[in-house]
Chains A and B, each alone.
Chain A
């Protein structure tokens, strides 16, 4: 089944994902750039210094002031968006809803890629588990979308996850400020994860976290005796899940509260997605909200 479903795409095609902050693109686009250059939006005058191109001298100002001033314009650039997708073992969970979390993440990432590229933004892909697995730098060419899809399709859940460390590893590689979309279940140490997000934020990136849940993980609906086998650490627990449910849900709530609070404090959108809900719906809802 192709990652891009026309029906899903149709639901998001009229939406746009804008960066709320300035981003450093490499081509003309819809987003404000920190760089000044040739554009239609005048920004300021500054005194001429040797080396400036003569064609940028504002001769009208020279006529009034008899001094050389260079005319500077606001540059509009395209968005550089990096999709950071978690492909650790925990993303391989497939609950009673029947959709694997990684598959759900792939489709979400594919949809976002298509959306960004359709608005002439460049999109890159980073996959990680315990460490960074693949890095596909952002491009805006249409052919790039195919490479991106292939990388997404080839990603298989494996190994343990350490989102915090992986994001720290990625951060230096993202030279230009842009949009970083993390798609992960964020399982693991919340503090370390939040610190990594803060580092990204500190480097000027806008960060959105799509947190993927399976319904089982949210409701813990198991009744009979169950042996839980850790998908990452290989641990095994034989328990009566009904007896543990309340405590588990309480633990889950605490963990999610910690993540939510951390993200909110760092002005990071934390968007939970549940695999039994159509991702297109969830995305369109989020994008519509974000566009307001």
Chain B
């Protein structure tokens, strides 16, 4: 027998109280040496059975009282009765699929419009005293009201027609939310009504395990709710075009540099689409438009060139012509445009001779246009200084700091570098013949607590009497090395590495940028505070190998520096519902951040301080579009929020799949409201069954009182009659 409030069954444990009192009474006895056993023994012999039975009966009654009380309060339910049927008060959770596929037209209005009308009708027919809740199944499923409510009119008012669409539906998570709602519902007749288009992607077999787990939890509820599936799929196979993604040719764009935008468009439909416009808007202005024609299930790429004449974040919007599902017709992007990427090169082995200084090859690689005097502008700007001049002021406005063959640092320099990285700067450390590895290990690695992600273990290769090695070719996983996955961009594996430093005790989050054929990493990268540190195994000059003299060195260093300069920052494009987390500079950290929503609404929110770092976390990204953030220092950032594109394929579960889903879920399936009404009318529901227990409880309480009085009377009555009997002499006369 299930219970509505099973937790209160624990109250039945109160039966132990009379039992304990009884046992304690028996344990707390007194011992009396007794003379008149010839009188007492027969009395006990004769009455022992009766007394034991009386006490047992009284004890049982007293034990039964808390047990019955707990049973009453736990609200037992008699399941599968048809006593009240549709007239019974009910509790319903409407699990509404609000993924953007529900935007698709479905006769009169969208699928979601029809869901709303269905819910409105059902709620309108629920009996007074019923309660209901609406769970939206999209993205991170959420419940419309804080708790299930019996204010059904108010609930429908909250279910507004302009409900926001989500990227994807997560039925398993929504079912779990429904379990939570069901737990706090009060009526016995319970039902979870699933209202969805049952898109194949959302309800695929891949998510079946998670759904089954949620359904098992639903079944494990004290009163198992009925589950009803209501598909809204009047129009099978809606034609849909979508922008799958927009890619940019550069991680960071400099002012005036060309940027290529690749717009990936797909026709998810089963028929060819007529000519469709693809429009590009930058900062709200239309800067380009193209027309394409897509065959069924065909993907295409549209290229746009753009240039930016000012530094800062620029909002990009790419839009397709209108179709039945507008949510995936727009792509939002944000491109950071920088004036320059300032890099500070700290040279541990300076020289006036050409290419003899430790940082000469680096400077050439990072500023190729300026070095060749081509007249073109380099994005990266370098400044070189000797290690003894390094201080906190020197790192101001620097995005990447490079320590090349630096022997050691003063304590203040170590602190300045640590603070620079912790605040979001990036650091590259190159070893060399002057490097004091002991100092690096003790002060910069500090047993894993310091800046360096690894300990310098030993030198290897020719310098240690061994042979040379090379960079291991094949596929590179590090973003800065992707370029070399295409052989046309150069082959770094041809570079000879004659000597290198072995790295050991890598930090947990350390990742290798590439490996040497010896098995040692070429360099490892890890996070330190808000910034990142790349520890290389080879020097920046050509003393230990010929990589700096090879052409691959230029793009490799360029991409490593740009990767480090950008990667420690928040990505400019995220999916709907994902959080935004911005690191703020220490100077501008304290204060309010002005947030501008895609709808134009603004809000001011406070940045938080955590372990000396200022961060701004923002989670209200349910709306696709550009979110503008005006940081306390005046800096403006645009974060683009897009729907994930999984829902763009409008394929629905077939009828067989849907029937199987209903079968697996032990659910009923109805096609429309009329069928639902018929099902609801004939449904077998549960009935609360606490009244008989209450009657039994009252009966037992009366019985207990009567028993006690009866037994007390039997004890006390003779006492009154025979109180202090005075023995009389029996005289012989």
Contacts and interface: CB of A to CB of B under 8 A. Distances in A.
B732 A267 contact: yes
A279 interface: no
B722 A187 contact: no
A3 interface: no
Residue among B39, B47, B714 with max Cβ neighbours from chain A (10 Å): B39
A231 B37 CA distance: 8
Nearest to A217: B36
Contact of A232 (B35, B47, B730): B35
B671 to A, nearest CB: 72
B209 interface: no
A90 to B, nearest CB: 4
B31 A229 contact: yes
Interface string B13-51: 000000000000110111111111111111110111001
A134 B44 CA distance: 35
Interface string A230-246: 11110101111011111
B7 interface: no
A260 B718 contact: no
Interface string B581-610: 000000000000000000000000000000
B569 interface: no
B724 interface: yes
Nearest to A208: B732
Contact of A217 (B31, B35, B715, B723): B35
B44 to A, nearest CB: 5
A219 B725 contact: yes
B730 A263 contact: yes
Nearest to A271: B729
B711 interface: yes
A244 B731 CA distance: 31
A248 B40 contact: yes
B28 A219 contact: no
B727 A213 contact: yes
A92 B726 CA distance: 22
A255 interface: yes
Contact of A226 (B29, B35, B51, B731): B29
Interface in A236-268: 237-240, 242-252, 255-256, 259-261, 263-264, 266-268
A226 B35 CA distance: 14
Contact of A231 (B35, B42, B725): B35
A224 B29 contact: yes
B457 interface: no
Contacts of B725: 218-219, 249
Contacts of B25: 224-225
A188 B730 contact: no
Residue among A219, A239, A246, A272 with max Cβ neighbours from chain B (10 Å): A246
A227 interface: yes
Interface string B46-69: 111001001100000000000000
A222 interface: yes
A131 interface: no
A224 B43 contact: no
A274 B728 CA distance: 11
A93 interface: yes
B714 A243 contact: yes
A263 B732 CA distance: 7
Interface in A197-229: 211, 213-214, 217-219, 222, 224-229
Contacts of B51: 239-240, 243-244
Residue among A187, A217, A230, A232 with max Cβ neighbours from chain B (10 Å): A230
A92 B36 CA distance: 11
A187 B719 contact: no
Contacts of A219: 722-725
A227 B28 CA distance: 10
A269 interface: yes
Interface in A95-144: 101
B732 to A, nearest CB: 4
Contacts of B37: 228, 230-233, 235
A270 B47 CA distance: 31
A270 B727 CA distance: 10
B714 A246 contact: yes
A264 B730 contact: yes
Interface string B285-326: 000000000000000000000000000000000000000000
Contacts of A226: 29-32
A185 interface: yes
A178 interface: no
Residue among B51, B723, B729 with max Cβ neighbours from chain A (10 Å): B729
Contacts of A230: 34, 37, 41
Contacts of B54: 243
B715 A269 contact: no
11 contacts: A90-B36, A187-B35, A219-B722, A219-B723, A226-B29, A243-B711, A246-B718, A247-B43, A248-B39, A270-B731, A272-B728
Task: For the complex of A and B, list the 8 residue pairs with the smallest distance between their C-beta atoms, beginning with the closest.
Answer: A272-B727, A90-B35, A260-B730, A246-B718, A93-B35, A267-B732, A228-B34, A270-B730
Interface of B: 25-26, 28-44, 46-48, 51, 54-55, 711, 714-715, 717-719, 722-732
